[in-house]
Amino acid sequence: MNQRPAANVLENDFLTIRHAILNVAAGLDRIDEGSDNATAKDDHRIQQIKNALAILAEPDLGRAERVQLAFSRPYEPGWNKK
Amino acid sequence: MDYIDPHIHMVSRITDDYERLARSGCVAISEPAFWAGFDRGSAEAFRDYFSQLIDFERSRAAQYGIQHFCWLCINAKEAENVTLSREVISLIPEFLDRPGVLGIGEIGLNKNTPNETTIFTEQVDFAASRDELILIHTPHLEDKYLGTRMILDVLTSDSRVKPERVLIDHVEEHTVKRVLDAGYWCGMTLYPITKCTPARAADIIERHGTERIMANSAGDWGPSDPTAVPKFIFELRRRGHSEATIRKIVYDNPIQFFSQSKRFDFTPRT
Ligand SMILES: [Zn+2]
C-alpha cells in the first residue's frame, strides 16, 4: 500500500533516521566510557544490540520485524504439552 | 475526524484529558480492566474498581460527549495470585450485564508464567462459556513474542473461541501477521518508547492492510499520550492515505468489532 516514491520517503525520513543512528552511537559510547564496563559487556542485552545492528546492514525488507525478534525471548513449540 | 480509542485507562487520567480527547475528535472509548500500578489487597477492591468503570467513568466521559464502554477481568499481572484471581472471576457475573460492558478483558500474559497461563486459560473458558467478546493484552518488550505465541496456542486449543470475537492488543511488527492470519482482530498501541510510534503503526497498515486492525493510545498511569490516535491519523494523512482508509481504522473497525456485543449501545454523532 506504500505507493510513495522512495526519494520522497528519503527526503521526509532522512533526519529522523540520522537522529536515531546518532543516538545509538552516543549511547554505545556512554556505556563504553562508564566505569567497570566489563560487567556491562557480559550483559546479554549488549549481544542483542550487536545482533540488531547487524540486521540494519542487511539488504532485504522486514528489518523492523527481525530487529524485534533480536530483542525477543524465543518460543518453544510444545510448551503446553509438557 | 471522529475517532474511537479502543484501549485507554481513563481511571488513571484527569478530567482535563477527557476535554483534550473530546477536542481532538474522540467520540467513544473502551476501557479494559487492568493493573493499577500496585497489587490490590482483596477481591473487594475489584468490586469497587468494576463499579468505577461501569458507573463513574461512564458518567465522567458523558460530560464531554464521549461514550464510554468497558471490559472486566483480573489482569495478567495480578493473575500471578491464583486464589485472588479466582475470587475476582467469581465477582464478574454480577457486573456482566450492565450497560456498556463489552466483554472480558484485558486478559493475557505479562511475564508468561505458569500461574498467568492458568488464569488466562480460565478466563478464556469463562468468556467462551458465555459467548462474551475477549480483549487480550500481550506482554511487553522481550516477552511479547513468546507471550503472543503462547496466547495463540491457548486460544486455538479451545474450540469454542471464535477468532472474529477476539481482539489481541499491543501487536507490533513481529506479532501482527500471525494474529491477523489466524483470523483475530488486533490493536496497535501508540507509545513513545516501548511500543509503536505513529510512523511504525502506519508502516504496519501499509504492509498488512486495514482489515481487522485498530490503533489505540493505551493511555494509563505511566508515560503515555491519551491523544496518540490523532497523531496516527495525521501521519496517515501526511502520507496521502484517503479519509475513508483512515476512518476505517480509527472508527469503522472498532464499531464493527464492538457491535458483536449486545451491550455496545453506541450512537454516532449526527
Ligand atoms: Zn491496557
- ipTM of the predicted structure? 0.93
Q: What is the pLDDT of residues B34-85, one digit of tens each?
A: 999 999 999 999 999 999 999 999 999 999 999 999 999 999 999 999 999 9
**Which of B111, B118, B140, B146 to mutate against chain A (most A CBs within 10 Å)?**
B146
pLDDT at residue B161 above 90?
A: yes
Cβ within 8 Å of residue A22, ≥6 positions away: none
**Which of B173, B181, B197, B246 to mutate against chain A (most A CBs within 10 Å)?**
B173
> What spatial distance separates the first Cα and last Cα of chain B, rounded to whole Å?
13
CB atoms under 10 Å from CB of B115, counted, come to 14
pLDDT at residue B32 above 70?
A: yes
Q: What residues does each domain of chain A span?
A: 1-37, 43-73
**Burial B57-91, CB ≥16 within 10 A → b, else e:** bbebbeebebbbbbbbbbbbbbbbbeebbeebbeb
Average pLDDT over residues A51-77: 97
Could you tell me the domains of chain B? 3-258 (3.20.20.140)
Q: Does the reported pTM lie above 0.90? A: yes
Distance from C-alpha of B100 to C-alpha of B113, rounded to nearest angstrom: 32
pLDDT at residue B208 above 90?
A: yes
CB atoms under 10 Å from CB of A78, counted, come to 7
**From the list A16, A65, A73, which residue is nearest B143 (CB)?**
A73
Structure confidence at residue B69 (pLDDT): 98
pLDDT at residue B134 above 70?
A: yes
Ligand 1 mean position, distance from CA B7 (Å)? 6
**Are B206 and A1 in contact (CB < 8 Å)?**
yes
Ligand 1 mean position, distance from CA B230 (Å)? 18
**B117: closest chain A residue by CA:** A80
Structure confidence at residue B34 (pLDDT): 97
Q: Does A15 touch chain B (CB under 8 A)?
A: no
pLDDT at residue A37 above 80?
A: no
CB-based contact B154:B121 (threshold 8 Å): yes
Structure confidence at residue A13 (pLDDT): 95
Q: Does A59 touch chain B (CB under 8 A)?
A: no
pLDDT at residue A1 above 70?
A: no
Structure confidence at residue B110 (pLDDT): 97
**From the list A4, A68, A79, which residue is nearest B172 (CB)?**
A68
CB-based contact B68:B28 (threshold 8 Å): yes
Structure confidence at residue B192 (pLDDT): 78
How many Cβ pairs within 8 Å bridge chains A and B?
50
CB-based contact B142:A72 (threshold 8 Å): yes
Q: Which three cell numbers stand for residue B208?
A: 498488512
